[in-house]
Structures are given as structure tokens and as C-alpha cells.
Amino acid sequence: MSKFIKSSLLAVATALSMGAHAAPTASYDFYSNGGGWVDSLTNSLNFTANGIGLTITPVSTNSDAKVAYRWDGIGLSAGFLEPNELNSSLLHTPGDALLLSFNQAVSLNSVAFSLWEGNSLGALDKATITTGGQTYALSASLNDGGFFVDTFGLTGVIPAGQFFVIQAQGDLSSFRLAGLNVTAAVPEASTTAMFVLGLAGVAAVVRRRKV
């Protein structure tokens, strides 16, 4: 067996073995976990969990917008008591949102919000998540109905991506980002193997032409 064939088979075996290892999962807890009693305002927040890095930045038509972090989660401050906005909360202010930027493509397993009123008071709070140019509404059926923190299960609901925008919808929305759970997006072993085999085929053709 030639060295070329051996190296190709080894590459395929390595690609297939990737499927045997579970992709890393990371949890980020912003509720009662690091924030103080008073909002800390900054241009960005950085977190790392299980090797997956996350940066949270504000998205706003107001150039003075800041990310706001306190004990009950992360919000956005675009000025003190602007029209239709309570300070340092995610609200239905046009153009205001939080951008989640990961250091690699991930799948969102769940997202949690504090101060969420979506059940007993007639779904006052509403939110969307945008990634890859597509926007997904968080329906009540995804909500676990938590008391202090409401968690939305998103496995298989939103496609994997590296950038996600969370925005409030509805005139009465007012809540904070309390947590996230994500899993690194790893290509399927079969897809990787086919890619390697394709490269091997191209290399074989090139070798034949050189002979």
C-alpha cells in the first residue's frame, strides 16, 4: 500500500473519529453571578465557558448605548429614561438589541431571561433572535414558565451560527438576559470524511498526471 493511500485512509479515520467525541457545551449564568446591585455600564462584556468565548455588545441607533450588567442579568442602557424605555432593560425601542458574538459557530440550546412577564400577565414580554439573516420569535410554548428566570428551550429551533441578535418586541416588553446554554457546532463526521475523500481523489488525479 502506497504512502499516499495510507495517509488518505488515516485522514478519513481521523475525520470519522470526530463524531465519537461529544462537542463541548458551555453555560453562561448572568443572574446573581457577578453583577452588582447597581448597573455597570460598558461597551462590551466578555465571557469564556468550556473554551467557548462570548462577547456581548449593544446594538442601538444611540451612539451612547452601553451594555448594562447587574445582579439580575444583562440589559442595554441607551440613556436615562428615554421615550418608551426604562433605563438599562431590553425594551421595544426600535433598533436597540444585544449582539452575542461567539469565537466559533454554536447551537443555542437555551436562552434565559429575568423580569420576564410572559404567562400570568398575558404575555407582556416578547423577544426575537436573529442569526444568518433570519429572525425567530420566541413562542410561549418554548418557555419553561420559571418563577424568577424564564428559560426558552431552543434545541433544533434556531440554526447554528456565530452571531445572534436578541431584541425585545412589543410595547410593554422589559426584561434582561439571564443566561445561555450553547454547544459548539461540529461538522458531521460523514461530511468531513467525504470532504477528505474528495481531496484525496483530486490529489490522486494530480499524481497520475505527473507520472
In single-letter form, the type of residue at position 84 comes to: N
Please state, as a whole number, how many other Cβ atoms lie within 10 Å of the Cβ of residue 34. Answer: 13
Distance CA 80, CA 202 (A): 61
How confident is the model at residue 176, as a pLDDT? 92
- Is the distance from CB of 59 to CB of 99 less than 8 angstroms? yes
Pick from 47-56, 185-194, 200-209 the range whose average pLDDT is largest: 47-56
User: What phi and psi values does residue 117 have, to the nearest 5 degrees?
Assistant: -115, 90
Mean pLDDT of all residues in 19-48: 87
In single-letter form, the type of residue at position 150 comes to: D
Distance CA 157, CA 154 (A): 5
Where b means 16+ CB within 10 Å and e means fewer, 53-87 reads ebbbbbebebeebbbbbbbbbbbbbbeeeeeebee
197, three cell numbers: 475523500
Query: Which of 95, 132, 117, 102 minimizes the C-alpha distance to 176?
Result: 117
**pLDDT value at 185 more than 70:** yes
- Of residues 70 and 12, the one with the higher pLDDT is 70
Q: Where are the beta strands (DSSP E) in 83-125?
A: 90-91, 97-114
